[in-house]
Homo-oligomer: A and B are copies of this chain.
Amino acid sequence: MTLTTAQIEWIAVDWGTSHLRAWAMAGGRPRCAAQSDRGMGKLTPAGFEPALLELITDWHDGPVTAIACGMVGSRQGWVEAPYKRVPCPVLPGGLVRAPTRSPDLTVLVIPGVAQDDPADVMRGEETQIMGFLALNPGWEGVLCLPGSHTKWVHVSAGEIVSFQTFMTGELFAAIGGHTVLRHSVAASGWDGAAFATALTDTMARPERIAARLFSLRAEALLKALPPVAARARLSGLLIGAELAAARPYWLGQQIAVIGDGTVAALYVDALAVLGVAASAADGEAVTLAGLSAAWATVKG
């Protein structure tokens, strides 16, 4: 869709390791959306501007500002936006301008957030946290942001107090795709009962996870374990191990899970198995709300 600069106010950009998504924004809402697979992980420094222009060229005919979050601000990204240290306000400022050849394009990158002890980092999730707080003013509690690198984040008095990352999503992909379990685990499908059983078994005896993984292979060979049940059990084992380790975050706290529908529902269900009530928030909506909050600080 072709737009003019008069029709849009700014461009919102979510730029992760494996994806790039952009929205033409007007009146606080997206008018157009576009995406590509030109994530940070596939680009050299000179490749960022063309990758963005490819998506947004039709959206402006004059000067325009883009607000970007995610791995685009990492050391291997377009421009390094140095981490803010916790505890820090969820809207910390400190946007960094990326170098551009196009005189019409201004790109401002939101910095990530780091924690010194235990060492931890996030890039992109801080924007979702910002957006969640913008949509839920005064909210306090713990946010869970599932994904390749799931984050548990303690938010209080408008600040990110502490957080912890779990490689659950990436472990699921690596174990299901690059070990002997690839022969036994389906690529899709779900078995809710198998998930819940694996989850509660792992929560009860988390130290046994290393033993339980191979049982998926052995039961496939000896007991014809269905691949879909094996997939749900692998997920239950890994999320169970995460929840066991994240107990200090979720125990006795108000919890909200931020993510796309399927994965957020999975975590809400898993927490329900533990007797913990959690609400779900749409990942794209909070990303746009966070980018909008950053835009509001710079639009002058």
Residues on A lying within 8 angstroms of B by beta carbon are: 75, 83, 114-116, 118-121, 148-149, 164-168, 170-171, 173-175, 177-181, 206-211, 213-215, 217-219, 221-223, 238, 241-242, 244-247
How many copies of this chain? 2
Contact of A210 among B167, B208, B219 (CB under 8 A): B167
* Pair A207/B207 contact, Cβ less than 8 Å: yes
Residue of B nearest to A242 (CB): B210
Contact of A119 among B168, B179, B213, B215 (CB under 8 A): B215
* Pair A178/B180 contact, Cβ less than 8 Å: no
Chain B residue contacts of A118, Cβ below 8 A: 211, 215, 218
Complex Cα distance, B173 from A174, in Å, reads: 10
Closest 5 CB pairs of A and B: A206-B207, A119-B218, A207-B244, A165-B214, A174-B178
Chain B residue contacts of A219, Cβ below 8 A: 119
- Minimum Cβ distance to chain B for residue A240 (Å): 9
Known A218-B165, A219-B119, A223-B119: A210·B245 in contact at CB below 8 Å: yes
Chain B residue contacts of A217, Cβ below 8 A: 121
